[in-house]
Amino acid sequence: MNRRENLKVLFASSLGAGLLLNACQPGEKEQDAKGMGTLGGRTEEEKLRDAQLLKEQFFTEEEQKKIRTLVDFLLPADENSPSATEVGVPEFIEFMMKDQPNLQTPMRGGLQWLDFESDELFGTTFNTLNSSQVKEIIDLVAWPDKASAAYSGAVRWFNLLRNLTCSGYFSTEAGWKYMGYMGNQPNVWDGVPASVLAKYGLSNPEKYAAIYLKPEDRAKVATWDEEGNLIG
Amino acid sequence: MSFQIKENTDAYDVIIVGSGAGGGMASKILAEAGLSVAVVEAGGDFDPAKEEDRTQLRPPWESPRRGAGTKIRPFGDFDQAIGGWEIDGEPYTRKDGTQFDWFRSRMVGGRTNHWGRISLRFGPNDFKRASLDGLGDDWPIGYEDIKPYYDKVDKLIGIFGSKEGIYNEPDGFFLPPPKPRLHELFIKKGADKVGIPMIPSRLSILTRPINAERGVCFFCAQCNRACQAYADFSSGTCLLHPAMKKGKVDLFTYAMVRKVTTDDAGKATGVSFVSKVDLKEYKLKSRVVVLGASACESARIMMNSKSKSHPNGIGADSGVLGRYLHDSTGADRMGIMPELFDRDRYNEDGVGGLHMYTPWWKDNKQLDFARGYHIEYWGGMGQPAYGAGGGMDALRSYLKDEFGAPSPNGGYGEGLKKDIRRIYGASLGMSGRGESIPQYSNYCEIDPNVVDKYGIPVLRFHYKWTEQEIKQAKHMQDTFEEILTQSGAILLGTKPGPETMYGLAAPGRIIHEVGTTRMGKDPKSSVVNPNCQVHACNNLFVVDAGPFVSQADKNPTWTILALSWRTSEYIVEQLKQKNM
């Protein structure tokens, strides 16, 4: 093997950096099946970071209990769809606290405020409240346009919690089903369905009718004349 | 371990630094001419057709962050581009209150793994702007010089679009465009009312096959994840990997180029690089060196290539190297379309990007700013992932119940869940991408005080927008409001005003930075000649967007590809004639 081949072997391999990094981090365990890092095309740095974040615990047990109560209050089960806890929203929020550490203080602060407010209103902690008491507290902060100015900080926190809960819910298989999302699969786009166009009184621009992709042509290799007209 | 320089005694005909659009094209053309080529890339290799590299079609639940962006993938966890705005150990700095952000992708294919596949030719006017409006400089070449290469790029790589006969938006060899999405038809209705054209977009995505090696689009809208069917353009799948299969091409990955080496006569002899794998120093030799590392990275390499024969770096004596750095302008606006509440469901993914766009349609002589912009449109029933169902604290009140009473903002429970489902697919928006005026005073230079983790001095940026770009952004905002309102949409947010320069994005943010090694006939005012050959070193070439004299209101990739092809043919010719 000459010098060039040596270098080629060393550098053409995309495994090189991976092996080196792995060697620097002995004892890293494979992620367990439940809490997996992102799949597909990961760098070694990404794999290590995901594994590390999945091992760490941010929320205390009390905080976890509050989160479970709150996310199911936000997105409960109904006849067609599961609740937020059933689709793993609390685990998603736990992960996001570590993935985006700037969320930690606002989230922890909001959860702490729940106990202050529970004590003010009911003389106890949030996790011991019954559901009508929980509703009373949440109603103070869940309606941004109506909430008293004194609660503006807690309203902001609840908006954050609502957004995270929705992210965690609608990014699941059940969430897609509820939303009616039909994509993320191979298909042939042939425009907006005719029934939908008719409903809105819209139509595809007539000018391009002759040139729009025809599904039946998708296997034919394109050829042009010298003027750039598609002829085959 | 003792320090040593590993020197490769075999010489290549050509070393290419970088494997993006410019470097990838050069590797293909030079290898096909029978030359031996080394491609030196700062990141790793990958192949989207291999299962372990695949991010395409992965649902968000295969990511613990549900597809949210990260530092190294700011455009989402499944985005194929690895790098981002800030890379650990590879800093850059800013001076004089500059806001400039530099997006880099460290991988085979570079930023062609990320981009929107919008592939617009520059038109005849785009090469002669100074003659038309007295600002900046003309290119030393014209549309007629580059047209044959645009034609060849169209046929080699594939692009869909429509022949329109618009003078400054030249037509090409187009594949059939896809029919519009619903929100695009709504927007077109509004644009028609105010006389703003909307035509099929021009994207480098294969709606029909162009050869036996690459498949066709199957409409998943995920070009940014790299296509396992190779149905979109990225430099790795369409240029570099095919070149490696057919020609004498060696790929060196995780190789960070320190400098171009030169001999006493000032000629390039190869490159010196540090391996990110073993942190050892290496040298490669060649007859010709081609830089395609990106406008700023190539300028950095040239500035750092100091030697006895080039004491200030290569091409730095005129003081133009690094100058005239410019990015496209950008501004956006969003709205919500009540007619789209409770819409029927169907698969609306489509291609990876817009199906219709607006080319620049005005005459700048009638306006208070000199250069134009195009408009990109977005919306539709996209894949719910991180961010889905968000913003109900402000959006929910646009929904009305059967009695016409608005829903309250915020809230919780089954009612919230239902309203999120009702509002899905009803928001839409648009982004303007415009031409800025290149300025001598906007530049990158070597920061005298900072090096990266490999000990290579880093870039420092100086950049300020001028009144030209600010007035253009104001015009964008007025136009966006007009189109959205006429389409029947409700405007969201407040209209950006002078306090934010009308929402004008910070330079660098549109990721079209060009101009640092500008092309010209006069070595006193340019870095490379009209063949992208460095004036001060005739066996050194630049094939990225550095040589652009002006950036047009287009995306740079198609012009990088055409210019790189043209430069590569010139290199082959010069080697044949033994001129280098």
Per-residue pLDDT of chain B (580 residues; tens, 9 = 90+): 334 456 656 799 999 999 999 999 999 999 999 999 999 999 999 999 999 999 999 999 999 999 999 999 999 999 999 999 999 999 999 999 999 999 999 999 999 998 899 999 999 999 999 999 999 999 999 999 999 999 999 999 999 999 999 999 999 999 999 999 999 999 999 999 999 999 999 999 999 999 999 999 999 999 999 999 999 999 999 999 999 999 999 999 999 999 999 999 999 999 999 999 999 999 999 999 999 999 999 999 999 999 999 999 999 999 999 999 999 999 999 999 999 999 999 999 999 999 999 999 999 999 999 999 999 999 999 999 999 999 999 999 999 988 999 999 999 999 999 999 999 999 999 999 999 999 999 999 999 999 999 999 999 999 999 999 999 999 999 999 999 999 999 999 999 999 999 999 999 999 999 999 999 999 999 999 999 999 999 999 999 999 999 999 999 999 999 999 999 999 999 999 999 8
pLDDT at residue number B56 = 97
Q: Is B208–A168 a contact, with Cβ atoms under 8 angstroms apart?
A: no
Q: Are B330 and B511 a contacting pair, CB within 8 Å?
A: no
Nearest residue, CB atoms, A14 vs list B8, B253, B408: B253
Q: How far is B580 from chain A (nearest CA, A)?
A: 23
| Chain A residues within an 8 Å CB radius of B68 | 96, 99-100, 167
Mark which residues 245-274 of B lie under 8 Å from A by CB: 250-255
Closest CA to B225 of B377, B63, B92: B63
pLDDT at residue number B50 = 96
Kindly list the strands in the beta sheet with B373-379, ordered across the sheet, starting from the edge strand earlier in the chain. B199-200, B356-358, B373-379, B427-434, B329-336, B490-491
Residue ranges per structural domain of chain A: 3-179, 188-232
Give the number of other CB atoms < 10 A from CB of residue A115: 15
Distances (CA, A) of B164 to A191, A209, B491: 21, 14, 31
Nearest residue, CB atoms, A4 vs list B10, B397, B413: B10
Give the separation between CA B1 and CA A232, rounded to whole angstroms.
63
B443 at A interface, C-beta within 8 A? no
Return phi, psi of residue B158, to 5°. Answer: 95, 135
Distances (CA, A) of B214 to A188, B45, B239, B314: 17, 19, 12, 40
Torsion over CA of B510, B511, B514 and B517, rounded to 10 degrees?
A: 150
B209 at A interface, C-beta within 8 A? yes
Residue B200's Cα: distance from chain center in Å? 20
Strand residue runs (E) in A66-124: none
B11 at A interface, C-beta within 8 A? no
pLDDT at residue number A139 = 98
Nearest residue, CB atoms, B346 vs list A142, A146, A193: A193
Residue B513's Cα: distance from chain center in Å? 8
Buried b (16+ CB within 10 A) or exposed e, B50-72: eeebbbbbbbbbbbbbbbbbbeb
Give the separation between CA A209 and CA A203, rounded to whole angstroms.
10
Give the separation between CA B514 and CA B563, rounded to whole angstroms.
13
Residue matched to tokens 């509703």: A135
Q: Is B144 left (phi over 0), alpha (psi -120 to 50) or beta?
A: alpha
- First and final CA of chain A: distance in angstroms? 49
Q: Which amino acid is at B142?
A: G
Give the separation between CA B294 and CA A45, rounded to whole angstroms.
24
ipTM at complex level:
0.95
Find residue A78's DSSP bridge partners: A81
Closest CA to B236 of B44, B14, B35, B34: B44
Give the number of other CB atoms < 10 A from CB of residue A193: 14
Q: Find the radius of gyration of the CA atoms of chain B.
A: 24
Q: Which amino acid is at B169?
A: E
Closest CA to A127 of A91, B413, A119: A119
Q: How buried is A173 (Cβ within 10 angstroms: 0-12 exposed, 13-18 middle, 19+ buried)?
A: exposed
Q: How far is A79 from chain B (nearest CA, A)?
A: 10
Q: Are B548 and B556 a contacting pair, CB within 8 Å?
A: yes
Q: Which two tokens stand for residue A149?
A: 């100015």
| Chain B residues within an 8 Å CB radius of A99 | 64-65, 68, 70
Q: Determine the angle formed by the axes of helices A89-99 and A152-170, rounding to 10 degrees.
A: 110
User: What is the CA angle B541-B544-B548, rounded to 5?
Assistant: 95
User: H or E stretch including B30?
Assistant: helix B21-32
User: How many CB pairs below 8 A link A and B?
Assistant: 311
Find residue B534's DSSP bridge partners: B528
Q: Is B407 left (phi over 0), alpha (psi -120 to 50) or beta?
A: beta
Nearest residue, CB atoms, B252 vs list A7, A92, A197: A7
Q: Are A108 and A157 a contacting pair, CB within 8 Å?
A: no
DSSP 3-state of B569? helix
Q: Is B66–A181 a contact, with Cβ atoms under 8 angstroms apart?
A: no
Q: Which two tokens stand for residue B512?
A: 């079209």
Which chain B residue has its CA at the smallest distance from A179's CA? B421
List own/partner pairs for B494-501 with CB under 8 A and 24 or more apart.
B495/B333, B496/B331, B498/B470, B498/B474, B501/B465, B501/B469, B501/B470, B501/B473
Give the separation between CA A60 and CA A190, rounded to whole angstroms.
51
HSE-up of B383 (CA within 13 Å, CB side)? 27
Give the separation between CA A60 and CA A57, rounded to whole angstroms.
8
Q: Are B420 and A166 a contacting pair, CB within 8 Å?
A: yes
Q: Are B374 and B202 a contacting pair, CB within 8 Å?
A: no
Give the separation between CA B281 and CA B273, rounded to whole angstroms.
6
Q: Which amino acid is at A89?
A: V
Q: Is B387 left (phi over 0), alpha (psi -120 to 50) or beta?
A: left
A211 at B interface, C-beta within 8 A? yes
Q: Which two tokens stand for residue B7?
A: 């020197």
| Chain B residues within an 8 Å CB radius of A201 | none
B417 at A interface, C-beta within 8 A? yes
Residue B91's Cα: distance from chain center in Å? 20
Mark which residues 490-509 of B lie under 8 Å from A by CB: none
Q: Is B393–A162 a contact, with Cβ atoms under 8 angstroms apart?
A: yes
B220 at A interface, C-beta within 8 A? yes
| Chain B residues within an 8 Å CB radius of A194 | none
Q: Is A7–B52 a contact, with Cβ atoms under 8 angstroms apart?
A: no
Q: Is B393–A192 a contact, with Cβ atoms under 8 angstroms apart?
A: no
Helical H runs in B307-428? Answer: 392-395, 413-423
A106 at B interface, C-beta within 8 A? no
Q: Is B417–A218 a contact, with Cβ atoms under 8 angstroms apart?
A: no
Which chain A residue has its CA at the smallest distance from B285's CA? A4
A149 at B interface, C-beta within 8 A? no
Q: Is B67–A171 a contact, with Cβ atoms under 8 angstroms apart?
A: yes
Q: Which two tokens stand for residue B560?
A: 């990088």
DSSP string, A9-61: HHHH-TTHHHHHHHHHSTTPPPPPSSSPPPPSS--HHHHHHHHHHHH---S-H
Give the separation between CA A181 and CA A178, rounded to whole angstroms.
8
Q: How far is A92 from chain B (nearest CA, A)?
A: 7
Q: Is A224–B252 a contact, with Cβ atoms under 8 angstroms apart?
A: no
Closest CA to B488 of B407, B403, B564, B426: B426
Q: Are A160 and A116 a contacting pair, CB within 8 Å?
A: no
B276 at A interface, C-beta within 8 A? yes
Nearest residue, CB atoms, A188 vs list B53, B219, B384: B219
Q: Are B119 and B233 a contacting pair, CB within 8 Å?
A: yes
Q: Which two tokens stand for residue B321?
A: 């190297």
Q: Which two tokens stand for residue B343?
A: 């819409």
Mark which residues 52-91 of A lie under 8 Å from B by CB: 53-54, 73-76, 78, 81
Mark which residues 386-415 of B lie under 8 Å from A by CB: 386-394, 397, 408-414
User: What is the CA angle A219-A224-A228, rounded to 5?
Assistant: 130
B147 at A interface, C-beta within 8 A? no
Q: Which residues of chain A have pLDDT under 70?
A: 1-34
Q: How buried is B153 (Cβ within 10 angstroms: 0-12 exposed, 13-18 middle, 19+ buried)?
A: buried
DSSP 3-state of B374? strand
Return the DSSP state at B238.
I
Closest CA to B509 of B549, B461, B467: B461
Residue matched to tokens 């990266």: B452
A51 at B interface, C-beta within 8 A? no
Q: Give the mutation candidate from B15, B417, B421, B423 for the A interface (greatest A CB count, under 10 A).
A: B417
| Chain B residues within an 8 Å CB radius of A172 | 60-61
A2 at B interface, C-beta within 8 A? yes
B185 at A interface, C-beta within 8 A? yes
Q: Is A100–B339 a contact, with Cβ atoms under 8 angstroms apart?
A: no
Nearest residue, CB atoms, A179 vs list B77, B160, B384: B384
Q: Is A40–B62 a contact, with Cβ atoms under 8 angstroms apart?
A: yes
Q: Are A159 and B393 a contacting pair, CB within 8 Å?
A: yes
Closest CA to B295 of B444, B113, B442: B444
Give the separation between CA B577 and CA B580, rounded to whole angstroms.
8
Q: Which two tokens stand for residue B148?
A: 């044959």
Q: Is B180–A205 a contact, with Cβ atoms under 8 angstroms apart?
A: yes
DSSP string, B95-123: -TT------EE-BTTGGGGTS--B-PPP-
Mark which residues 111-140 of B lie under 8 Å from A by CB: none
Q: Find the radius of gyration of the CA atoms of chain A.
A: 27
pLDDT at residue number B186 = 98
Mark which residues 151-210 of A lie under 8 Å from B by CB: 155, 158-159, 162-163, 166-173, 175-176, 178-193, 195-197, 199-200, 202-205, 208
